[in-house]
């Protein structure tokens, strides 16, 4: 049996947990940013009281919110974030879904309000062309380089080793 989540009761209590995402950031990068961690912020990510009753709608809400960025965090989705703004966005997504919006409709609505910055998956457009084409360009460029290399004629015969180098080679071989 599940503890029945009451839509009205927000969980209260001492809420001093700092933004976990920024904490991980600092720790990972060499453990230096300390100031970031002192700001008191409320609890983390999706709360039991936010969950929609309809599991299909809830699943769609989670799908959408995984692709939306928490605007005040570092590269973190609103699904993972504990910031109040992320919570507002999660509730907004659920609200739009309950009103019958499609997934794309919800995303468009939020992009219209907050800009492209909110999308974790950048759109494919002129200004992101280079970004999206990087993998293909890198492979093609490399393949072209290899093709050039394969066409090159074999190099001229090696220069003879000097007597000192011969001795060095012999010494190295002896050690094998």
Partner 1 sequence: MIVETGHFALALALALSLVQMVMPVWAARSGDPALRQTTSQAALGAFACVLFAFAALTWAHATSDFSVQNVVENSHTQKPLIYKLSGVWGNHEGSMLLWVLILTLFGACVAGAKNSVPPRLRANTLGVQGLITFVFVLFIITTSNPFTRVVPAPIEGRDLNPLLQDPGLAIHPPLLYLGYVGFSITFAFAAAALIEGRIDAVWARAVRPWTLSAWCFLTLGIAMGSYWAYYELGWGGWWFWDPVENASLMPWIAGTALLHSTVVMEKRDALKVWTVLLAILTFSLSLVGTFIVRSGVLTSVHSFATDPTRGVFILGILVLFIGGSLALFAWRAPLLRQGGLFAPISREGSLVLNNLFLVAACATVFVGTLYPLLLEMLTGDKITVGPPFFNSTFVPLAIPLLLIVPFGQSLAWKRGDLLAASQRLFFALGVALAAGFATLAMTAGGPVMAPIGIGLGAYLLIGSAMEIVARARGYGARRTRSPAIIARRAFGLPRSAWGTSLAHAGVGVVVIGIAAQGWASEGLASLKPGQSLTVGPYVATLDRVAPRQGPNYEEAGAFLTVRNRAGDEVGQVETGRRFYPSRQMTVTESGLLTLGASQVYASLGEAGKDGSIGLRLYYKPLVLLIWLGAVVMALGGALSLTDRRMRVGAPAKAKGRALPASAVAAE
CA distance 86 to 47: 12
Between residue 59 and residue 78, which ones bind partner 1 under the rule CB under 8 A?
67, 69, 74-77
Quick one: DSSP state of residue 70?
Answer: -
d(CA 107, CA 118): 9
**With CB under 8 A as the contact rule, which of the stretches 84-92, 99-107, 152-160 interacts with partner 1?**
152-160
Per DSSP, helices labelled H in 73-175 are: 84-98, 103-114, 129-151, 163-175
Contact with partner 1 (CB under 8 A) among 56, 112, 163, 173: 173
CA angle 86, 105, 67 (to 5 degrees): 40
Q: Confirm or reject binding of residue 91 to partner 1 (CB under 8 A).
A: no
Site string for partner 1, 32-51 (x = CB under 8 A): xxx--xx-x-xxxxxxxx-x
> According to the binding rule CB under 8 A, does residue 118 interact with partner 1?
yes
> Taking CB under 8 A as the rule, does residue 146 contact partner 1?
yes
């Amino acid at each position: 049996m599940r503890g029945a989540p009451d839509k009205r009761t927000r969980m209260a209590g001492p809420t001093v947990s700092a933004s976990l995402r920024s904490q991980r950031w600092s720790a990972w990068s060499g453990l230096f940013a300390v100031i970031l961690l002192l700001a008191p912020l409320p609890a983390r990510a999706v709360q039991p009281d936010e969950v929609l009753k309809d599991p299909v709608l809830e699943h769609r809400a989670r799908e959408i919110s995984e692709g939306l960025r928490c605007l005040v965090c570092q590269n973190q989705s609103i699904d993972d974030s504990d910031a109040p703004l992320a919570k507002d966005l999660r509730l907004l997504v659920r609200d739009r879904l309950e009103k019958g919006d499609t997934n794309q409709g919800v995303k468009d609505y939020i992009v219209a309000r907050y800009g492209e910055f909110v999308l974790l998956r950048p759109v494919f457009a002129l200004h992101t062309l280079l970004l999206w084409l990087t993998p293909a360009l890198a492979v093609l460029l490399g393949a072209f380089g290899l093709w050039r290399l394969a066409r090159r004629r074999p190099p001229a015969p090696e220069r003879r080793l000097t007597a000192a180098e011969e001795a060095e080679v012999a010494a190295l071989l002896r050690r094998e």
